[in-house]
Structure 1
Amino acid sequence: MSEVFDYLKMIADAVRTQHEMPVTWAHVVHACLGKAQELSGYRSERRLVLMQQALEKRVIDKLSGSAGLSSERLAEAAKRLEASEPDGPTSKFVHERILRWRSNARLDVPDWTVDVWINVLQDFHVSGDDFTRPGGWAQEPAPTAGAPPPAADWRKDLDALVGLGAIKRQVLELNDFLYVQRVRAARAATKGAPVEISLHQIFTGSPGTGKTSVARILGSIYREFGFLKKGHLVEVSRADLVGTVIGATEENTQRKISEAMEGVLFIDEAYSLSSAGNQDFGPRAIDVLLKMMEDHRDEFVVIVAGYPGKMEEFLSSNPGLSSRFNERLNFLDYTEDELAEIFKRLATHHGFDISHPKLTAAVMAWLEANKRATGSAFGNARAVRNLWEKMLRRQAFRLNRAGKVADAEPGLDVLLPEDIPAVT
């Protein structure tokens, strides 16, 4: 067994020499997957690419970027591995032997990415022996008739969001924190009391900056780690919680919290519960919320959202609020390039042609004018979607009046600058 640990050290030293960075087993596996795509007989297997992407999302990107190994370094390191195999190599490719060995051997290696890699293998229904099977890879299992659809992959949803670099990093850090705490708690010999985890969050930012989407992703993460059984999102505003007669606010708030049990209660513009004056029922909703957060501490998560300055006023309106929320995510307004990308993705998703040379500039001019007109209420991605829907209506009006609505009419899928409405 000492030969195997010598081999592990040699692999790590090889990567450090080339990249001068901390090395984990995920870096080695990532490099070998890249070699498999270049050289192996199963290089067309789509799961290779997906597994490499999964490693990037779960490990590599959070540890100073991707790492590769040169062919010479791989060959040098693999000599020790080959010597440790009692039956000799079963493949002529070094990277295949490394992938098989790392996927089949559960050694006591102090490297948390080994467990991540095992989870990736399970997610894609791949075994270590698949990497050296002469007949190619085993087929992915066909879905069972009547089986429920697989849970949505929150990592794909997070990557699909435009911009939000700092937010994405915070979400990934939270994911890693929960993973490490779960591993610590699962050890046979514990070292101290478990870390107390508060999952409640504060989101600050303008409308249309992705707060609801990220809240839904957090629900999926909490479900994945077993902190919430369902992880669903219940989105509410003041109108859903505050009543107009005595007792209605308490009843409304308790009902919405009941809907959010085992999931996430997302309160948009939460400051409206505390900013309507002394005769308002809003503070009663806050009192009910705080009590339910205490009585059902591990049964649901609360995320409060709104403009940064007003959220400070909200937190200071009740002595018990600030202590309930440990984490804050600040959603910045989208840049011009990010708004343009959102518009482009809408067009691509729905199969529209936006190649007119003046269209993008006209769209950005409309958004800028709308931002000046609305000020702090500018809707960001929401403004882009509103513009998109108005353009589709104007395009339909233009085509219909010109008698160009027919199956073969190419203009059905084309947007033009004249489809952009005036700013109101």
Structure 2
Amino acid sequence: MNGRGGPEAAASLLRESARAFRTQHPDALCWAAVLHLCLDRAKQHSAYKSDPRLPELMKAVEDEIFSQYHGVPLGSGLTDADLDDALCALESGLAGAPEAAQAAGHELILAWRSGSDEVGEDWSVRPWRALLSRFDVEPKMFLARAPWPPVPEDGPKPIDWRTELDALVGLGRVKEQVNELRDLLYLQRLRMRRRIPGVEPVELSMHQIFKGNPGTGKTTVARILGAIYREYGLLKGGQVVSVQRSDLVGAVIGKTEELTKGWIEKAVNGVLFIDEAYSLTSGGAQDFGPRAIDTLLTEMEDRRNSLVVIVAGYPAKMAEFLESNPGLASRFNDEIHFDDYKNDELIEIFRRLIARHGIGAPAPAVEARVAAWLANRRANAGARFGNARDVRNLVGILFRRQARRLSLTYPDGTPPEVEWDSFAPEDVPCPTSGAQADTVGARGSAVDGQTTEEIK
């Protein structure tokens, strides 16, 4: 049914899909089944047929709605009378839409069923609309005579969180906890789709405490969690907004509340990540930090279905932070501990960082000096050791020393290209001690377009 024909074409297609589906599920015809067939027609015949959201929607319907038929009571499917009522409502509901006059049957059904609440709404309509929201598809787009507009650029770009999680160096316990949380959300989604009378979904709190030293991957894992929350429908956006004390605390009365609410507004439908959260409670009796916490707790309650908050910092100081306000411990009942990287893991991080910038596998002598520098840095910095952040700092130092070495070696011309893509042992600084080690470790670099502050 790829020709035009308005409501008559829609009626024919609706009855055709009903007959086809009832051969396999005689008692459970639902709107999701009809819409899945209509999506397939749209993928073949509509002006927006090449949009990647169409096959993504079809797969999501299969994975998230069709899998729930086992929980649908027998006899709850759409009847012929339900379909007749729906066709009448479809015709009247789209009567005033100029785009509908030229629309194909499948386009009319998709546009009407995605927006109308008046007739024949069954158990599958609500999850269908949740999918539309997730994929940024509006009902009127199904009547479009042109390709769909792209997803707004200011929206968060989905990440392949599974690949990112697997690719993280070390962090075995963290990965296990993240996968456990994903499994919980998946099972919760299955439970919610069953719609058994009297059975309510488990109330979940996704707020998290991240305990760990700097540079142990906390910000990266926060982004992964944001993507998971989006994929499983807990959050519409899944973006991660990172803040610290200076972003939230003002210098005059009333400014702290204003700043905190402003950042929360940016994080709505996503994750607010507060690094070094304990600094909000360490400013003394006249400090405005506690006002930021009070505002945060109020907003977390008011936005319980649209905001996740992750607080992060040193393990010991985070324990003091939670004890500073009676409301904090009750809001944050789950924590993930990030261990420091082992020496061999730091070397693997070093290899990956330099490979990202075109540097080949380092020679054993280079790796030995890098390992010595990092070991010295760890011994002298103690709790201030930056883990992956210090590795990135060191990579920035190596690039600067390499450039200086080559400029001195070839003062009258361009160094041979083969020299660009490798480090020499002398590019690695000698291990320093005491204050000198801290100075080197705290120095930021702009390698890879990022400052080291981005590795939390």
TM range (shorter): 0.5 to 0.7
Q: How does 1:4-403 map to 2 (within 5 A)?
A: 151-190=158-197, 192-403=199-410
1:146 & 1:189 partners in 2: Cα distance?
38
- Tell whether the 8 Å contact from 2:351 to 2:362 is kept in structure 1 after alignment: no
Q: CA deviation at 1:191?
A: 5.9
State the Cα deviation string for residues 246-302 of structure 1 (Å, max 9, x = none): 111111111111111111000000000011111111000000000000111111100
- Tell whether the 8 Å contact from 2:68 to 2:194 is kept in structure 1 after alignment: no
SS class of match (1:421): coil
SS class of match (1:321): helix
Q: CA deviation at 1:192?
A: 2.3
SS class of match (2:203): coil
State the Cα deviation string for residues 109-145 of structure 1 (Å, max 9, x = none): 89xxxxxxxxxxxxxxxxxxxxxxxxxxxxxxxxx99
2:372 & 2:214 partners in 1: Cα distance?
20
- Tell whether the 8 Å contact from 2:406 to 2:415 is kept in structure 1 after alignment: no
Q: Residues 411 and 295 (structure 1 numbering): CA distance in 2 closer, same or farther, change over 3 Å?
A: same
TM-score with structure 2 length normalisation? 0.60
Q: CA deviation at 1:190?
A: 4.6
Length, aligned pairs only: 287
Q: Please, which of 389, 394, 409 is the counterpart of residue 417 of structure 2?
A: 409
SS class of match (1:301): strand
Q: CA deviation at 1:243?
A: 0.9
1:354 & 1:396 partners in 2: Cα distance?
18
1:206 & 1:227 partners in 2: Cα distance?
29
Q: Residues 184 and 241 (structure 1 numbering): CA distance in 2 closer, same or farther, change over 3 Å?
A: same
- Tell whether the 8 Å contact from 2:243 to 2:274 is kept in structure 1 after alignment: yes
2:252 & 2:150 partners in 1: Cα distance?
47
Q: Please, which of 428, 441, 456 is the counterpart of residue 420 of structure 1?
A: 428
2:184 & 2:251 partners in 1: Cα distance?
43
**Which piece of structure 1 moves more, 190-199 or 298-307?**
190-199
1:109 & 1:184 partners in 2: Cα distance?
11
Q: Residues 185 and 146 (structure 1 numbering): CA distance in 2 closer, same or farther, change over 3 Å?
A: closer
| Structure 1, unaligned runs of 5 or more | 1-104, 111-143
1:294 & 1:307 partners in 2: Cα distance?
26
Q: CA deviation at 1:228?
A: 0.8
Q: Residues 191 and 373 (structure 1 numbering): CA distance in 2 closer, same or farther, change over 3 Å?
A: same
1:205 & 1:290 partners in 2: Cα distance?
23
- Tell whether the 8 Å contact from 2:244 to 2:274 is kept in structure 1 after alignment: yes
- Tell whether the 8 Å contact from 1:184 to 1:190 is kept in structure 2 after alignment: no
Q: CA deviation at 1:193?
A: 2.0
1:281 & 1:235 partners in 2: Cα distance?
20
Match of 1:291, as an amino acid? T
- Of structures 1 and 2, the larger Rg is shown by 2
Q: Residues 407 and 191 (structure 1 numbering): CA distance in 2 closer, same or farther, change over 3 Å?
A: farther
**Which piece of structure 1 moves more, 237-246 or 350-359?**
350-359
1:235 & 1:107 partners in 2: Cα distance?
37
Match of 2:383, as an amino acid? S
- Tell whether the 8 Å contact from 1:354 to 1:416 is kept in structure 2 after alignment: no
SS class of match (1:320): helix
State the Cα deviation string for residues 1-26 of structure 1 (Å, max 9, x = none): xxxxxxxxxxxxxxxxxxxxxxxxxx
**RMSD over aligned Cα atoms:** 2.2
Q: CA deviation at 1:147?
A: 5.0
Q: Residues 257 and 408 (structure 1 numbering): CA distance in 2 closer, same or farther, change over 3 Å?
A: same
Match of 1:156, as an amino acid? T
- Tell whether the 8 Å contact from 2:241 to 2:267 is kept in structure 1 after alignment: yes
- Tell whether the 8 Å contact from 1:207 to 1:377 is kept in structure 2 after alignment: yes
- Tell whether the 8 Å contact from 2:161 to 2:228 is kept in structure 1 after alignment: yes
Q: Residues 410 and 284 (structure 1 numbering): CA distance in 2 closer, same or farther, change over 3 Å?
A: same
Could you tell me which residue of structure 2 aligns to residue 93 of structure 1?
Answer: none
| Structure 2, unaligned runs of 5 or more | 1-65, 72-146, 437-456
Match of 1:317, as an amino acid? S
Q: CA deviation at 1:108?
A: 7.8
Q: CA deviation at 1:353?
A: 2.5
